[in-house]
A and B are shown apart, each in its own frame.
Chain A
Amino acid sequence: MLEIEDLHVEVEGREVLHDINLTIREGETHVLMGPNGSGKTTLLRALMGFGSSRITDGTITFKGHDITKMPIHERAQLGIGLLFQRPPTISGLKLGKLLNVTSHGDTSHVEEYARRMNMDTFLERDVNKGFSGGEIKRSEVLQLMIQKPDFVMLDEPESGVDLENMALVGNAIAGLIEKDQHIISRKKSGLIITHTGYILDYIDADFGHVMCDGTFKCHGNPREILKSIQLKGYKECIECQRV
């Protein structure tokens, strides 16, 4: 589904990512770990096409299309979705209206999904205005439920979510990437940034990657990587260099 080859990305004139190679096949879920500032969010932003993450070299291929230079909305229309870690506030734009606009005319599920995410009382509120950390994540998941992307990128979906809501968010994300479906019929793929690994309690990820200093330093079983980081920190990963 997604093929990244030799990707180099600059932010404000400084190279943040280099030599990134990654293949994500249909139905696979990958987890991205790494210390703060290592470039994880930059990679997701570059895959989405944001102007501040400038691709200087390499290619991104999605569903057979070279999307390296494609505008953001065309990538979204092609099936890429992003759960923002810190989305902007849009004053005056009601969450309900945004959902209606992005639902491509089929608004039949808006209220049902909003109820499921405990966001039905937020539809008349400005997008992200005064939302708590957990409310932002529920709103982001709700937007993705309406958008229905085939490839879902999640930037720290569990940060700011209290324990009570974690199951709600976790199970909804599992639904987004069809974890409730049998592996053979699963069509959706995911790439998830996580620090805590809580999200792994709700989705079984297939592969884990560790990013340090703007490139992958380790690939392997996500649970094992997480365990090793919990025990020894990222130092071990960097030294191990099992790329």
Chain B
Amino acid sequence: MSEGMKGFAEINEEDRKRIEMTGLQTGTLEGRSGSFLQVDEHIHHASTDAKGIEILPIADALKRYAWLEDYYWKAVSRDKDEITQYIAAQEPKGYVLIARKGSQTTFPLQTCLFLAKEDIQYVHNIIIAEEGSELHLIAGCASSAQNKNGKHYGVTEIYVGKDAKVTSTMIHTWGETIEVYPRSVTIVEERGVFLSNYVCMVPAKKVQMYPTAELRGEGAVARFSSIMLATPGSYLDTGSRALLSAKGATSELITRAITTGGTIISRGHILGSVRDTKGHIECRALILKDGIIHAIPEIEGRVVDCELSHEAAVGKIAQDEIEYLMARGLSEDEATATIIRGFLDVKISGLPESLQRQIDAAIDAAEKGF
């Protein structure tokens, strides 16, 4: 294990496997441009060998860079709700990640927030992609199999500069007793691109989040894609919001949701407040066993020349599709799993191949449970 990865070794094998399910590497940094590990409130490492990239604990960053005050609690308000108020009242934990002007990372940078024993884990992360930089992030969030009633509170403020590109792939591996409350806002400047992928295929007691992208610069782009499975006892109240506040801004919010007995509330909101903006919400859901899927797509246009649309569908797998595959020799269960796997296959254009593979692997791992 490299020096920069210390901390993973102290986590037992079962929990390390849970972390690896979120797409993270716990052995070497190979194929990663950097790594951050926080277990409960303890930061084990923050390291990178990539040129132009800096990752450091937020407390250190605030001491080192006075200018960070311009980003700290500027995208997310301290007073937003009780979660942000709680975090604002604590010693700051979490990381600051800076991609300097023009820097490009070939490999994704991984961050792991692991909830081991504490009742509440809180983090405050700030990601800054300066002008022309490109940053790929894989954020793994997991809890120990031993933690029976933990809560995770998180604030993430992302700043995508002019002509910069940030992709964030978040794979959740929480437990059936864990509650999760991420609060995240991304600000995208001129021609900046923000791609967010969220995958949650394992049970969580409650996830509540509504990340927002504010497209402030001309031609800014934000795409959110969410793939979720709610097993019995899981309550996933998730959504994404895009504020189209500059000319030429475009956004797409895509969701695939499946329930096998749990609840999914799939929200989406696009606000077009200036001319020449475009947005689309697409939510498709399957109810495989009695559960709740509640899709709430909202499109709000306030000027002429903003094009907004949405489509939402909740249903079941079509019998003719199952029979078609059975006629090719697949059993009913195989046919069903094959169709569901296809249903969840949302390819995100612009996402690095390695991250797409991690997403595919997380979905494949859940395939047997459909």
| A-to-B contact residues, CB < 8 Å | 48, 50-51, 71-73, 76-77, 81-82, 84, 87-88, 90-94, 98, 101-102, 104, 126, 143, 147
Chain B contacts of A90 at CB under 8 A? 321, 324-325, 339, 342
**Interchain CB contact under 8 A, B332 and A92:** no
B319 interface residue, CB < 8 Å from A?
yes
B288 located at the interface, meaning its Cβ lies under 8 Å from any Cβ of chain A in the complex: no
Q: Which residues of B contact A84 (CB under 8 A)?
A: 324, 327
Q: From B327, B330, B334, B346, give the contact of A82 (CB < 8 A).
A: B327
Q: Across the interface, which residues of B come within 8 angstroms of A93, CB to CB?
A: 338-339, 341-342, 345
Determine how close the nearest CB of chain B comes to the CB of A55; give it in whole angstroms: 15
A-B contact pairs, 29 of them (CB 8 A): A48-B327, A50-B323, A51-B319, A51-B323, A71-B326, A71-B332, A72-B326, A72-B327, A73-B326, A73-B329, A73-B330, A73-B334, A76-B326, A82-B327, A84-B327, A88-B318, A88-B320, A88-B321, A90-B324, A91-B342, A91-B343, A93-B338, A93-B341, A93-B345, A94-B342, A98-B325, A98-B338, A101-B338, A147-B329
Q: Which residue of B lies closest to A80 (CB)?
A: B327
Contacts of B327 in A (CB 8 A): 48, 72-73, 76, 81-82, 84
B344 at the interface (CB under 8 A from A): yes
Which residues on the A side are within 8 Å of B342 (C-beta)?
Answer: 90-94, 126
**Contact between B345 and A77, CB atoms less than 8 A apart:** no
CB pair B319 A76 closer than 8 Å: no
Contact between A73 and B324, CB atoms less than 8 A apart: no
Interface string of B330-363 (1 = CB under 8 A from A): 1110110011011111100000000000000000
CA distance A228 to B186 in the complex (A): 73
Report Cα–Cα, A93/B343, bound state, in Å.
7
Q: Which residues of A contact B330 (CB under 8 A)?
A: 73, 101-102
Chain A residues with CB below 8 A from B345, complex form: 92-93
Contacts of B321 in A (CB 8 A): 88, 90
B368 contacts partner chain A, Cβ-Cβ < 8 Å:
no
- From B324, B329, B343, contact of A92 by CB (8 A): B343
B328, CB-defined interface residue at 8 Å: yes
- Which residues in B have their C-beta under 8 angstroms from that of A147? 328-329
Contact between A143 and B328 (Cβ–Cβ < 8 Å)?
yes
A21 to B334 alpha-carbon distance, docked (Å):
34
Majority-rule SS of B interface residues = helix
Alpha-carbon distance between A50 and B338 when the two chains are bound, in angstroms: 19
- Report whether A92 and B331 are in contact in the complex, using a CB–CB cutoff of 8 Å: no
Complex Cα gap A43–B345 (Å): 35
Given the known inter-chain contacts A92-B341, A93-B339, A101-B338, please indicate yes or no for A73 contacting B318, CB distance below 8 A.
no
Q: Which of B318, B326, B344, B346 has the most CB of A within 10 A?
A: B326
How many angstroms from the CA of A126 to the CA of B342 in the assembled complex? 9
Q: How far is the CB of A121 from chain B (nearest CB, A)?
A: 17
Contacts of B335 in A (CB 8 A): 73
Q: Are A73 and B332 in contact, with the CB atoms below 8 A?
A: yes
Q: What 6 additional pairs, Cβ within 8 angstroms, besides A50-B323, A102-B329?
A: A73-B330, A76-B329, A84-B324, A92-B341, A92-B344, A93-B338
The 10 closest A-B pairs by CB, nearest first: A92-B342, A93-B342, A92-B345, A72-B326, A76-B329, A73-B326, A102-B328, A88-B320, A88-B321, A73-B331
CB distance from B11 to the nearest CB of A (A): 35
A93, B341: Cα distance in complex, Å: 7
**Nearest-CB residue, chain A, relative to B339:** A90
**In the bound complex, what is the Cα–Cα distance between A72 and B332 (angstroms)?**
9
Residue of B nearest to A153 (CB): B327
Greatest chain B CB density within 10 A among A82, A90, A91, A126 is at A90
Contacts of B341 in A (CB 8 A): 92-93
Q: Which residues of B contact A72 (CB under 8 A)?
A: 323, 326-327
A94 to B320, CA, bound (A): 17
Which residues of chain A have C-beta atoms less than 8 A from B344's C-beta? 92
Taking CB atoms, residues of chain A closer than 8 Å to B331 are 71, 73
CB A163 to nearest CB in B, in angstroms, measures 28
Q: Which residues on B sit within 8 Å (CB–CB) of A104?
A: 329
- A113 CB → nearest B CB, Å: 14
Closest to A89 in B: B321
Q: Give, as a whole number of angstroms, the nearest-CB distance from A54 to chain B.
A: 13
Chain A residues near B318: list those with CB within 8 A. Answer: 88
Judging by beta carbons under 8 Å apart, are B324 and A77 in contact?
no
User: Which B residue's beta carbon lies closest to that of A82?
Assistant: B327
A194 shortest CB reach to chain B, Å: 20
B 94-137 to A, binary, CB cutoff 8 A, 1 in contact else 0: 00000000000000000000000000000000000000000000
CB distance from A41 to the nearest CB of B (A): 13
